[in-house]
Chain A
Amino acid sequence: MSQAGALSKRKQRQAKAMSRKIKQTRLTLSDLVIPLASGALLIVLSIVVFIPMVRAAFGYVEEMKEVNAKIEQMENLHKQLKSLDEIQMNEDVLVARQVIPKVLLVSNFVYYIDTLATEKSLTVGSLSSSDSLNAVSGPLSYRGDFDNVVAFLEDVQEISPYMIRLESVKVSIREDTDSFEETWSISLNVSGYHFSESDDKPDIYAPFQLYTEYEDIVQIFKKKAEAM
Chain B
Amino acid sequence: MNSETIQKQNVEEEQQENIEETQQSKQPQESPVIQHVEEKTRSREGFNLIPALSKEEKIKIKKKDTFNFGSLLSIILLASMAIGIVGFNIISKMHLNSRKSALSTIERKVNEDIDKLSTNNAILDRVKIYEKFKKGSFSHKNIIEYLKDIAAVERANKRGKIMYSSIEITEDLIYKVSGSAPSLEQIAYLWYLFGIDENIDEINLKSVSKSDIDTRFSFEGKLNKVYFSNE
Contact = CB atoms under 8 A, between A and B. Distances in A.
A67 B71 contact: no
Nearest to A174: B165
Contacts of A171: 144, 166-168
Given A3-B31, A42-B78, A84-B116, A35 B70 contact: yes
A111 interface: no
A226 B141 CA distance: 23
Interface in A2-29: 2-4, 6-7, 9-10, 13-14, 17-18, 20-22, 24-27
A67 B9 contact: no
B126 A100 contact: yes
A59 to B, nearest CB: 9
Contacts of A38: 71, 74-75, 78
A35 B164 CA distance: 106
A165 B92 CA distance: 58
A79 B124 CA distance: 18
A161 to B, nearest CB: 13
B3 to A, nearest CB: 9
B122 A93 contact: yes
B9 A17 contact: yes
Contacts of A218: 123, 127
A7 B40 CA distance: 13
A74 interface: yes
A204 B130 contact: no
Interface residues of A, number: 91
Which bucket holds chain B's interface residue count?
35 or more
Given A7-B37, A193-B133, A218-B123, A204 B89 contact: no
Interface SS of chain B: helix
Contacts of B68: 31, 34
Given A63-B96, A171-B166, A193-B133, A153 B57 contact: no
Nearest to B75: A38
Contact of A74 (B71, B96, B107, B139): B107
A77 interface: yes
B131 A217 contact: yes
B163 A175 contact: yes
Nearest to B2: A24
B119 interface: yes
A26 B60 contact: yes
B126 A96 contact: yes
Interface string A89-125: 1101100110110000000000000000000000000
B6 to A, nearest CB: 6
B126 A20 contact: no
Contacts of B133: 163, 165, 193
B93 interface: yes
A168 B170 contact: yes
Interface in B121-142: 121-127, 129-131, 133, 137, 139-141
Contacts of A25: 57, 60-61, 64
Contacts of B99: 64, 67-68, 71
Interface in B74-106: 74-75, 77-78, 81-82, 85-86, 88-89, 92-93, 95-96, 99-100, 102-103, 106
Contacts of B106: 71, 74-75, 78
Nearest to A92: B123
A189 to B, nearest CB: 10
B51 interface: yes
Interface of B: 2, 5-6, 9-10, 13, 16-17, 20, 23-24, 27, 30-31, 34, 37, 51, 53-54, 56-57, 60-61, 63-64, 67-68, 70-71, 74-75, 77-78, 81-82, 85-86, 88-89, 92-93, 95-96, 99-100, 102-103, 106-107, 109-111, 113-114, 116-127, 129-131, 133, 137, 139-141, 144-145, 163-171
30 contacts: A2-B27, A3-B31, A10-B20, A17-B10, A24-B2, A24-B5, A25-B57, A34-B68, A35-B67, A35-B70, A38-B71, A42-B78, A57-B85, A67-B100, A93-B119, A97-B126, A100-B129, A150-B144, A153-B140, A157-B139, A158-B139, A169-B168, A170-B166, A170-B168, A170-B169, A171-B168, A204-B107, A209-B124, A211-B124, A221-B130
